[in-house]
Amino acid sequence: MTVVAPLFRTAGRFVSPGGAKGKLTILTYHRVPPDIDPLLSSDQVDARKFASHMAVIAECFNVLSLPEALERLERGTLPSRALSITFDDGYRDNYTMALPILQRHGLVATFFVCSGYLNDGLMFNDVIIESLRACQSPQLDLSWLGLGLQPVHDMVSKRECAEKILTSVKYMPFLERERACTRLWETAAPGKERPLLMMTDDQIRQLAAQGMTIGGHTHTHPILNRIDLASARQDIVHNRDLLADLIGHKPLIFAYPNGRPVRDYGHEHVQLLMELGYQAAVSTAWGVATRSCDHYQLPRFSPWDNNPKRLVLQLLRNALTGQDPLTAKSAG
């Protein structure tokens, strides 16, 4: 990679210029498991892939903290090939696996933390995956979810079953989904302890103390469009205040849960964040942030390629074509 890095840097100056026409690539990561996990999706980024991403990115891009990048985007003083790194949800492997890799390259990142699962909680998607991992029966009766009898005798069938359950519970109301997850655990992994996958309070404090940015991501990870505005406000405020207690100041940047504009959040949530003192927010719409972007609906990008050259090409293509990201518009 070192040989072609100067070529990529030159191309990057044209595709992702600095100054008034500056473009900011914001990367999204979630879990960074120590090894490839057969039960996670095929585009997962394990520690080895993450390390190869960071090596290339440190060589070819100018990595800035998200607060600094947004300030410079606003002022028109971004460097060329500007890039920020973000993680959603608050997974413990972000601290144990990703942080040492970031630090090895002198990089900083923003961690959007869902406060309701810190320490010993599990998000619903992980309850599903981990219950199937722990399951020792060859099949599961999921008629109560409308899925009938599901084979779960190996990793492939467990993966397929997890996908089906995720699809059927993802948009359920919160309490109904919690009940479904509890029932699933009792059915698939009776008596088994849930694994510890989320960061501890102290790990959040440590991240902040080591120069990383902590951002809001709600308390219970609701799809905001699926709950009423008062409940959304309560969940966002609770998250903001708990994080403020941990890091000593209110978080200033937010990531919408699930994050798809229009489908997962609306313009009323953009206004809510402004009212609550947030200065910017990121969605999961793919694209590149420019000066004309809505700062409360900044697009991001999730790289997946393992090959360094293809990874840089993916990032440059996104910077070239991703200039009109999807956003939720105000009605009036």
Element (H, E) at 99: helix 99-104
Other C-beta atoms lying within 10 Å of the C-beta of residue 220: 20
Beta carbon of residue 221, minimum distance to Zn ion (angstroms, whole number): 6
The verdict on 126 binding Zn ion (CB under 5 A) reads no
The DSSP bridge partners found for residue 113 are 89, 216
In the chain, where do the E strands start and end? Answer: 23-29, 62-63, 82-89, 110-113, 139-141, 149-151, 213-216, 253-255, 280-286, 289-290, 298-300
Nearer to Zn ion among residue 89 and residue 126 (C-beta): 89
Two structure tokens written together for 59: 């060589």
The verdict on 264 binding Zn ion (CB under 5 A) reads no
Beta carbon of residue 257, minimum distance to Zn ion (angstroms, whole number): 5
Please name which of 306, 253, 301 lies closest in space to residue 277, comparing C-alpha atoms.
253
Handedness of CA 20, 285, 94, 309 (dihedral sign): negative
The verdict on 235 binding Zn ion (CB under 5 A) reads no
Nearer to Zn ion among residue 15 and residue 181 (C-beta): 181
The verdict on 88 binding Zn ion (CB under 5 A) reads yes
Nearer to Zn ion among residue 8 and residue 91 (C-beta): 91
Nearer to Zn ion among residue 72 and residue 219 (C-beta): 219
Rule CB under 5 A: choose which of 12, 45, 89, 289 binds Zn ion. Answer: 89
Contacting range for Zn ion; rule: CB under 5 A; set: 18-26, 83-91, 193-201, 274-282: 83-91
Nearer to Zn ion among residue 33 and residue 257 (C-beta): 257
Task: Please report, as ranges, the residues that interact with Zn ion according to CB under 5 A.
Answer: 88-89, 257
